[in-house]
Amino acid sequence: NTVSNLIFILPPIYGAIQTCKDGLEKRYLAAYLCLTAVGLGSWCFHMTLKYEMQLLDELPMIYSCCVFVYCLYECFKYKNTVNYPLLFLLITYSFVVSIIYLNLKEPVFHQIMYGTLVSIIVLRSVYIVLWVYPWLRGLGYTSLTVFLMGFFLWNVDNIFCDKLRALREKMPPVVGAVTQFHAWWHILTGLGSYLHILLSLYTRTLFLKHRPKVKFVFGIWPVLLVEPPKKL
């Protein structure tokens, strides 16, 4: 459960570096780094199981989703513009959720607030791939499907934890390791979130007349390379 967080850490760091190289907007640098922060916080929590480290896991999930919302809803704006009302709303949302959660200490509250942001992201993504850039459906639906698969396995692990633990004790060590559904939740949600940033960045660069292309490192891992607009 600790090591599986590497998928939240290493690919977004590469994405952040590539974003800087391509000279893209800082909001996407923030999106990649926020995803890395989630992975680092989750790593610390699962390594220590301390409440303070749990907050480093859970609160960055809220903050990163707020960045994702801003990026996705600002895809079709002119370059170098700032939507101050939306920015203020998301910062206020993050602040209020943090204060309430720190005092309430109720996981369900965090899940509802996080789920609300995810729902907003999903609705906007579906709108983009259905009515704006239909050729991005593959990327959009893959991101959503991978994320929901992770969410499903996370709930299975929560509900049947005792039975799964007893079953693993009868399995060979290697087989038992790959049935850690919470680790698969990390892997699948990390990949789904990363693919979402690619979708958002692809949409944004298309609008700005850039030439984005999805490449696969070692034929496996997707990265986005963005070439500047052609000069007339």
Q: Is 212 helix (H, G, I), strand (E, B) or coil?
A: strand
- Residue 199, sorted as left (phi over 0), alpha (psi -120 to 50) or beta, turns out to be alpha
Which amino acids are annotated as binding site, given as ranges?
46, 182, 186
Q: How far apart are the first and last CA of the chain?
A: 52
Q: Which of 114, 124, 160, 163 is nearest to 144 (CA)?
A: 124
> CA-CA distances (angstroms) from residue 102 to 58, 106, 110, 137?
11, 9, 10, 38
List, as one string, the DSSP characters of 3-70: GGGHHHHHHHHHHHHHHHHTT--HHHHHHHHHHHHHHHHHHHHHHH--HHHHHHHHHHHHHHHHHHHH
**Tokens standing for residue 6:** 């590497």
Which amino acids are annotated as binding site for Zn(2+), given as ranges?
46, 182, 186
The count of C-alpha atoms lying within 13 angstroms of the C-alpha of 219, restricted to the half-sphere facing its C-beta, is: 0
Q: For residue 133, with 0-12 CB atoms within 10 Å meaning exposed, 13-18 middle and 19 or more buried, which class applies?
A: middle
Task: Identify the residue whose tokens are 């692990």.
Answer: 157
Q: Is 172 helix (H, G, I), strand (E, B) or coil?
A: coil
